[in-house]
Amino acid sequence: MPELPEVEVIARGLNSSVTGRRIDRVEALWPTSIRGSAERFLDLVTGCTIDSVSRRAKLLLLELAPQRTLAVHLKMTGRMVHHEAPTPAKHDRIRFFLDDGSILTFADMRRFGYLAVFLPGELELWDFYNDLGPEPLEMTVEAFIARFQDSKARIKALLLDQRIVAGVGNIYADESLFLAGIKPQSVAKDIEKARLAALFARLQEVLRRSIQENGSSIRNYRDSGGNAGAFQNLFQVYGRGGEPCLHCGQLLDKIKVSGRSTVFCSVCQS
């Protein structure tokens, strides 16, 4: 899925393109993309005005008026694209028809993604939301270190755990570990604090740079305007298993950590 940078880019794009628009009609082509009762969802969302669009972890949050929050999780292949005119596509799941004739479409090839609507107070009752760790771009290095330094788990598993730090996925975990020179399978509590601090700095850099580059498009990701990102051109290790390290030339190793494909350099990372 889109990870933190991709969801951030989508949220910013939608915030400028759909804020102030009223949702006149909702078309649920695949109602199972809606969490909970689809009927309730349609009731609560239809007729609302979009006040703002933001991001928390990998969730897109649309604040509506009257007060309700529309949360969207894109998982692996979800998209939220704003079209000026109808442009039906194969994997369209939910369409929001806006009052200026434009359409906001949730499309999702693999159908892992979902939409959910919350009334005031309900969002905090949702375990996934409530358990999210801090935003990596809004926390201190001390707080970051504190969340990792006592754990017996492998560092990459912790980076991917949304309860430890929110928004990091497989791409940015591998990229930040490479840049920090840390092996993904290292046990967190065995890593010196200074190296955890370096990891935090590299993670912030890579997330910020990816946002600047409009995110990473491996295959499905598109921003809210339907455009691809460019950060995939700057990958150091992700998707490069067996190819030479761009720093030292060593062939990059590909292993599994936390059930996820993991690429690293056995020379540059220790």
Partner DNA sequence: CGAACCACCTGACGGC
Partner DNA sequence: TGCCGTCAGGTGGTTC
Residues serving a catalytic function are: 2-3, 58, 260
Q: What is the closest distance, in whole angstroms, from the C-beta atom of residue 90 to DNA in the complex?
A: 6
Q: Does the N-terminal peptide bond of residue 136 adopt cis geometry, omega within 30 degrees of 0?
A: no
234 near DNA, rule: CB under 7 A: no
184 near DNA, rule: CB under 7 A: no
**C-alpha span between 197 and 128 (Å, rounded):** 27
Binding DNA (rule: CB under 7 A), the pick from 29, 109, 137, 267 is: 109
Q: Going residue by residue from 112 to 131, which x/- string records binding to DNA, judged by CB under 7 A?
A: x---------------x---
Query: Residue 163 is encoded by which pair of tokens?
Result: 């309860």
**Burial zone of 62 (CB within 10 Å; 0-12 exposed, 13-18 middle, 19+ buried):** buried
Binding DNA (rule: CB under 7 A), the pick from 21, 55, 73, 82 is: 73
**Burial zone of 219 (CB within 10 Å; 0-12 exposed, 13-18 middle, 19+ buried):** exposed
Dihedral (Cα; 53, 55, 56, 58), 10-degree rounding: 130
Q: What is the closest distance, in whole angstroms, from the C-beta atom of residue 101 to DNA in the complex?
A: 28
Binding DNA (rule: CB under 7 A), the pick from 2, 13, 133, 136 is: 2
Q: Which of 74, 71, 162 is nearest to 111 (CA)?
A: 74
1 near DNA, rule: CB under 7 A: yes
Q: What is the closest distance, in whole angstroms, from the C-beta atom of residue 29 to DNA in the complex?
A: 13
Q: Which of 151, 196, 156 is nearest to 175 (CA)?
A: 156
DSSP 193-205: HHHHHHHHHHHHH
Q: Nearer to DNA by C-beta: 23 or 155?
A: 155
Q: Nearer to DNA by C-beta: 51 or 109?
A: 109
Q: What is the closest distance, in whole angstroms, from the C-beta atom of residue 201 to DNA in the complex?
A: 21
Interaction residues for DNA, span 12-41 (CB under 7 A): none
Q: Nearer to DNA by C-beta: 26 or 257?
A: 257
Query: SS3 for 233?
Result: helix
The count of residues interacting with DNA (CB under 7 A) is 39
Amino acid present at 252? L
Binding DNA (rule: CB under 7 A), the pick from 151, 246, 247, 267 is: 151
Query: SS3 for 25?
Result: strand
Q: Nearer to DNA by C-beta: 12 or 91?
A: 91
Q: What is the closest distance, in whole angstroms, from the C-beta atom of residue 72 to DNA in the complex?
A: 12
> What b/e readout covers 139-154, taking b as 16+ CB neighbours within 10 angstroms?
beeeebbebbeebeeb
Name the residues that contact DNA, by CB under 7 A.
1-3, 6, 57-58, 73, 75-77, 90-91, 109-112, 128, 151-154, 157, 160, 162, 169-171, 187, 216-221, 256, 258-261
